[in-house]
Structure 1
């Protein structure tokens, strides 16, 4: 998804846990990109991580969700911590990200559903 966005000449900011992986992905894109390491489970860290892209790239135009935890195991397997991590990152972390960047997204010229 990020590659497709970059091919449309969008300014790209990548966020996630693994800075080295983010840097590698950023240099592979056809446009300048910014890599920011952040824990999406930490709202204060997300607010701080939003500053460099805003300062370096300007107003955000999209927020692709590239965070996620995927664990393949039988549901009956007693892996409660794993299931909790999936819910925390995939649901709660995505909500933290959306709330942090809501002002940027509302500033877009697209019609708002709210």
Structure 2
């Protein structure tokens, strides 16, 4: 990327999202970090501002289209037209298939799949007008290999991959690329919560089964996002870029 652009990152207050925010800030871009965690959002935004970053923290529920539309209006007013979107916000939980209620299923779909729909669709007018755009979705290895006790999560993330590939075909003529990154095991607060709850194995145990024997980091995912958003990736679209240390090869 040859100049500062406006980047939107959902789920930007912690974990993978925060890593992505930091990476784009380091590249000199104006970044809107969207999240539901208001206190954490303000805390991290203050740190980045102290480092000279141009940051706009916004409390947003990606499952609510009005919330997205209101946030994007503020982004356009304060930072400018949206050029890059990283649809990262999501939730995960472990629950056996027989115990998934309709409400639990719907919440997972609303946040992890419909949230991506809202996040991407609302940004398209800016990208079409500019004749340039980069859309990066964060899916999951669970969508590729399946996941024990997380059928609803895997289903939603599979939908993200299908949505990404379809949009890549539909938007290519407008100068917009659309790609997805499906992380596997990443050291994040969400992983820590799962470990503490006993629903996720310790990362050092999982690392023994990864060809590159360590968990991923938010910066590993952020580096891939930087590439996919770059001019160097202008001929890359509709791709599933697995950043997983070789845990899933397919």
| Alpha-carbon distance in 1 for matches of 2:32, 2:68 | 13
Q: Does 2:135 align with 1:113? A: no
| Alpha-carbon distance in 2 for matches of 1:41, 1:85 | 9
Residue among 28, 42, 48 paired with 2:47: 28
Displacement of 1:4? 0.9
Report if aligned partners of 1:40, 1:94 keep a CA contact under 8 Å in 2.
yes
Question: Hey, what does 1:9 align to over in structure 2?
Answer: 28
Q: Does 2:137 align with 1:78? A: no
SS of residue paired to 1:71: coil
1:79-94 to structure 2, matched below 5 A, reads 79-80=100-101, 81-94=103-116
Q: Does 2:124 align with 1:102? A: yes
The CA deviation string for residues 51-91 of structure 1, in whole angstroms up to 9 with x for no partner, is 111111111221112311111233x3412233322211010
Structure 1, gaps ≥5 residues long = none
Question: Hey, what does 1:60 align to over in structure 2?
Answer: 82
Q: TM-score, normalized by length of structure 1?
A: 0.84
Report if aligned partners of 2:83, 2:132 keep a CA contact under 8 Å in 1.
no
Q: TM-score, normalized by length of structure 2?
A: 0.41
Give the structure with higher Rg (CA).
2
Structure 2, gaps ≥5 residues long = 1-19, 134-170, 174-250
Report if aligned partners of 1:38, 1:46 keep a CA contact under 8 Å in 2.
yes
CA RMSD of aligned residues (A): 2.0
The CA deviation string for residues 6-55 of structure 1, in whole angstroms up to 9 with x for no partner, is 11111000112122121122223341201111222222222111111111
Report if aligned partners of 1:71, 1:82 keep a CA contact under 8 Å in 2.
no
More strand by share: 2
Report if aligned partners of 2:29, 2:54 keep a CA contact under 8 Å in 1.
no
